[in-house]
């Protein structure tokens, strides 16, 4: 069994790789940076903000056997006042979080390298349900993934038996979340990446349309669906009004 995980060098991606390796998968980790911890996963270096790098990675990935499980997990963010974040940062976020995973997925599909009956997961964000003032371009990029997954799911399932899952994680106990949370936010309330990875993999393997790791994520998603405007207002109070700096990565 062969798995591909993007952004597998740290955070949630690293936890997903570790679990897949333990399950006996041959794992390929596509990342800009070397893994934080030693791992037996195959490492393919790729900066997803570069189209040339994505094209090269596609050539590498399509020159070997197809995948049974693919998770598009890599992502970056920029938080702060929209108009104070540079246009380059906004463009990078859309390139890395939306354009690259959709290009990789389309390229692998076109080459027939996502096998019939495979599972594909897109890591979106709980912001799809809540809105995310203070990270407008990040929210945009994650919504693009959620909508893309929804658009292709039925056709791919019917034609190829490929099941597509969208993952909507809330804040996790990762360096990424810590960098983008307002000062004084309680990191202990965030879910550990290992626990999230376990729930996410279970849902992806089952081929569920949505995966919302944790009770808190489900509650937020539910509230966001029944009262979207109230939820976005709450997010503004909780996050945007407390951001006193601009952070781009």
- Which residues make up the interface to another protein (CB under 8 A)? 51, 55, 58, 81-83, 85, 87, 90-91, 94-95, 98-99, 102-103, 106-107, 109-110, 127-128, 131-137, 139-148, 150-152, 154-156, 159, 228, 232-233, 235-236, 240
- Closest separation in Å from C-beta 215 to another protein: 24
Distance CA 75, CA 138 (A): 9
Q: For residues 44 and 109, which CB has a smaller minimum distance to another protein in the complex?
A: 109
How open is the CA angle 154-200-103, to the nearest 5 degrees?
55
Distance CA 221, CA 228 (A): 10
- Closest separation in Å from C-beta 131 to another protein: 4
- Closest separation in Å from C-beta 141 to another protein: 6
Q: For residues 101 and 193, which CB has a smaller minimum distance to another protein in the complex?
A: 101
H and E: helices and strands count for the chain: 10, 9
Q: For residues 85 and 191, which CB has a smaller minimum distance to another protein in the complex?
A: 85
Distance CA 199, CA 130 (A): 21
Query: What is the CB-side half-sphere exposure of residue 189 using CA atoms within 13 A?
Result: 9
- Closest separation in Å from C-beta 71 to another protein: 18
Q: For residues 109 and 185, which CB has a smaller minimum distance to another protein in the complex?
A: 109
The DSSP annotation for 23-46 comes to: TT-EEEEEESS--SS--SSEEEE-
Distance CA 105, CA 215 (A): 30
Q: For residues 95 and 200, which CB has a smaller minimum distance to another protein in the complex?
A: 95
DSSP-derived secondary structure letter, 84: G
Q: For residues 64 and 86, which CB has a smaller minimum distance to another protein in the complex?
A: 86
Q: Using alpha carbons, list the distances in angstroms from residue 167 to 55, 119, 160, 200, 225.
A: 25, 13, 21, 7, 16
- Closest separation in Å from C-beta 2 to another protein: 20
For residue 70, how many other CB atoms are within 10 A of its CB?
31
- Closest separation in Å from C-beta 82 to another protein: 6
- Closest separation in Å from C-beta 114 to another protein: 10
Q: For residues 40 and 63, which CB has a smaller minimum distance to another protein in the complex?
A: 63
List beta partners, residue 71.
Answer: 5, 121
179 is written with which tokens?
A: 């960098």
Q: Which of 121, 129, 123 shows the shortest CA–CA distance to 218?
A: 129
């Amino acid at each position: 069994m062969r798995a591909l995980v993007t952004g597998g060098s740290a955070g949630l991606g690293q936890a997903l790789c570790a679990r897949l390796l333990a399950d006996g998968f041959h794992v390929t980790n596509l990342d800009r940076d070397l893994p934080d911890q030693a791992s037996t996963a195959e490492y393919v270096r790729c900066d997803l903000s570069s189209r040339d790098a994505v094209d090269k990675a596609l050539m590498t990935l399509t020159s070997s056997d197809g995948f049974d499980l693919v998770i598009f997990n890599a992502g970056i963010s920029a938080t702060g006042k929209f108009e104070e974040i540079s246009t380059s940062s906004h463009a990078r976020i859309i390139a890395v979080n939306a354009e690259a995973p959709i290009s990789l997925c389309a390229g692998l599909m076109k080459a027939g390298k996502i096998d019939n009956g495979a599972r594909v997961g897109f890591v979106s964000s709980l912001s799809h349900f809540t809105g995310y003032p203070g990270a407008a371009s990040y929210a945009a990029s994650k919504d693009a993934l959620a909508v893309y997954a929804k658009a292709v799911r039925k056709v791919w399932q019917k034609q190829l038996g490929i099941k597509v899952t969208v993952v909507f994680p809330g804040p996790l106990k990762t360096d990424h979340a810590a960098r983008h949370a307002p000062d004084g936010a309680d990191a202990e309330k965030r879910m550990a990446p290992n626990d999230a990875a376990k729930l996410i993999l279970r849902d992806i393997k089952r081929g569920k349309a949505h995966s919302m790791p944790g009770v808190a994520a489900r509650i937020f998603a539910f509230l966001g669906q029944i009262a979207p405007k109230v939820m976005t207002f709450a997010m503004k109070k909780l996050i945007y009004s407390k951001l006193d700096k601009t952070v781009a990565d």
